[in-house]
Amino acid sequence: MKIYDLIIVGAGPAGITAGVYAARKRLDFLMVSLDIGGQAAWSGEIENYTGYQFITGPELAQKFQEHVLKYGAAIRENEEVLGLEKTGSVIRLKTNKADYQARSLIIASGKKSKELYVPGEKEFKNRGLTYCATCDGPLFAGREIAVIGGGNSALDAVLQLIRIAKHIYLVNNASHLSGDAVMLRKVEGAANVTVLNNTSVTAVLGNRFVQGIKIKNNLKENELAVQGVFVEIGLIPNSAFVRGVEKNSKNEIVINLRNQTNIPGIFAAGDVTDVPEKQIIIAAGEGAKAALGVFHYLSENNF
């Protein structure tokens, strides 16, 4: 079986940037990813990626893809990595479609939405319950909806939905909302938003589609009639397939300043790692660092 110089797992800002750098170093590499753009593609409005004063998530993802494909990078899309192991100096990667071998690896698989784990969540996914306000928000025009969460992603969802939905219940299980002051002020000033603090969701109700949620506040249970449920309670790293590599208590992959993990040849970059601050531009920078680190690793080991 062919042995690549490098395999990059993930094609978000970190993976794509690693791909651009790997291509420019003329490494023989492959990219494997479920999607292109990662979480960045799901962002509504991006105003802090230098060079673009304003760009939407889907547009930035498109630019990323064009950039890496310009160098002729091979991207296996819709492919999920199931496991990896290192024997000798070779890293073996198993996906849902094929097996691959490489001298080095960059794990840039990012993060995904955390689930509520309450009855009804699975049954009503895409039947009124969604994890993507950017994508599905417009379908809830004139409806009563609930946004679950109390941090920046929940506030971002509420702000996207304020002009669409008739009324929004922001269901927050903490005693107050957290998040950026600018967004907080807008949310608290909106006439069609009701904030329910100290309140948790215990079930999603409905028939064919969502008709309501069960909520609990101070041991008191209530039902709220809503036709939409937007789950925005944070993110978890896509690191379950990475076994034998050191992770922290949040399941983020632990890396050093050179993006190396505890296993030589296995590098990681972006939101899946313990890098402080999860931002598109930081993930991109980390991807570049990881690819350059791989280049040095390969030449030091005469691969």
Partner 1 sequence: MVKSVKVYSTSTCPWCIRVKQFLKENNIEFENLDVSGDQLAADEMMAKTGQMGVPVLDIDGEIIVGFDKERIKLALGL
Query: 271 and 111 in contact (C-beta within 8 Å)?
Result: yes
State the catalytic residue, choosing from 35, 136, 156, 271: 136
Query: Considering beta carbons, is residue 86 or 127 the nearer one to partner 1?
Result: 127
Contacts of residue 102, Cβ cutoff 8 Å, sequence gap at least 6 = 3, 4, 5, 6, 7, 29, 30, 90, 91, 93
Rounded to 10°, the helix 13-24/57-70 angle is 20
Distances (CA, A) of 15 to 29, 162, 271, 294: 12, 33, 11, 13
Distance of closest approach, residue 15 Cβ to partner 1, in angstroms: 16
Query: Considering beta carbons, is residue 112 or 127 the nearer one to partner 1?
Result: 127
In this structure, the strands spanning 90-95 and 81-87 are: antiparallel
Using the rule CB under 8 A, give the single segment among 3-11, 33-41, 171-179, 280-288 that binds partner 1. Answer: 33-41
- What binding mask, one character per residue, do residues 197-216 give for partner 1 by CB under 8 A, x or -? -----------xx-------
State the catalytic residue, choosing from 135, 156, 180, 271: 135
**Known catalytic membership, residue 135:** yes
Q: Which of 114, 131, 117, 121 is nearest to 231 (CA)?
A: 131
Query: Considering beta carbons, is residue 65 or 259 the nearer one to partner 1?
Result: 65
Please give the Cα distance from 135 to 17 (Å, whole number): 25
Query: Considering beta carbons, is residue 130 or 172 the nearer one to partner 1?
Result: 130
Using the rule CB under 8 A, give the single segment among 131-139, 195-203, 230-238, 247-255 that binds partner 1. Answer: 131-139
Query: 60 and 46 in contact (C-beta within 8 Å)?
Result: yes
**135 makes contact with partner 1 (CB under 8 A):** yes
**Known catalytic membership, residue 271:** no
**Known catalytic membership, residue 132:** yes
Residues near partner 1 (CB under 8 A) are 36-37, 41-42, 44, 56-58, 61-62, 77-78, 126-128, 130, 132, 134-139, 141, 208-209
Q: Which residues are catalytic?
A: 132, 135-136
